[in-house]
């Protein structure tokens, strides 16, 4: 990924969430709809800072809108083990322990749930939440925690970006 061109004033003025998107968004938008091979090549071409940011944003930007989206994306990432590992690696890179703990708790419970039902990740559906009140209630609680720990995660990642701007941006002029 080439470094994002941005003015020093805009870089300084962006809030934590928007700063992360300003640095990762162009890459992520360019990969929408591409096959997995192209996405993998693009991720491999990023520096560790950029790759970690992009992988965090894959989770956050897809899961932040609702509890069902959180459930669906966690299950999708778990089905695609390389992405799950990448997201956890990104959280370790940024030292975002609370998000790691939440995701591991979610994974462990969902793995047990699937084991009890005798199914695999590719058999999971958002409609599971309509059929299972206990699961729905757990997912709502996880989603609420996700939104809370996301604030801390975004803050920590933005601090990292501000401390290492040369890994993400080139300043205009």
The domain limits of the chain are 4-171
Mention the CATH class of domain 4-171: mainly alpha
pLDDT digits (tens, 9 = 90+) for 121-170: 989 999 999 999 999 999 999 999 999 999 999 999 999 999 999 999 99
pLDDT digits (tens, 9 = 90+) for 82-120: 889 999 999 999 999 999 999 999 999 999 999 999 999
List all residues 6 or more positions away from 103 whose beta carbon is below 8 Å from its beta carbon: 74, 87, 88, 91
What are the start-end ranges of the E strands in 32-129? Answer: none
**pTM of the shown model:** 0.91
Q: Residue 136, exposed/middle/buried by CB under 10 A (0-12, 13-18, 19+)?
A: middle
Give me the helices (H) in 32-132, please: 36-45, 48-63, 67-79, 81-93, 97-117, 128-131
- Cβ count within 10 A of residue 48: 11
Structure tokens at 61: 């930007």
């Amino acid at each position: 990924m080439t470094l994002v061109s941005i003015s020093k004033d805009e870089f300084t003025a962006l809030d934590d969430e928007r700063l992360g998107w300003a640095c990762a968004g162009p890459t992520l938008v360019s990969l929408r709809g591409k096959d997995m091979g192209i996405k993998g090549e693009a991720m491999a071409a990023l520096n560790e800072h950029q790759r970690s940011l992009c992988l965090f944003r894959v989770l956050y930007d897809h899961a932040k809108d609702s509890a069902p989206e959180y459930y669906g994306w966690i299950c999708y990432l778990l089905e695609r083990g390389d992405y799950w590992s990448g997201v956890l690696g990104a959280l370790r890179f940024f030292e975002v322990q609370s998000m790691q703990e939440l995701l591991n708790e979610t994974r462990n419970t969902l793995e047990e749930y699937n084991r009890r039902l005798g199914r695999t990740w590719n058999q999971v559906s958002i409609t599971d939440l309509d059929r299972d009140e206990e699961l729905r209630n757990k997912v709502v609680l996880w989603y609420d925690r996700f939104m809370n720990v996301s604030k801390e995660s975004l803050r920590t990642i933005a601090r990292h970006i501000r401390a290492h701007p040369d890994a993400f941006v080139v300043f205009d002029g």
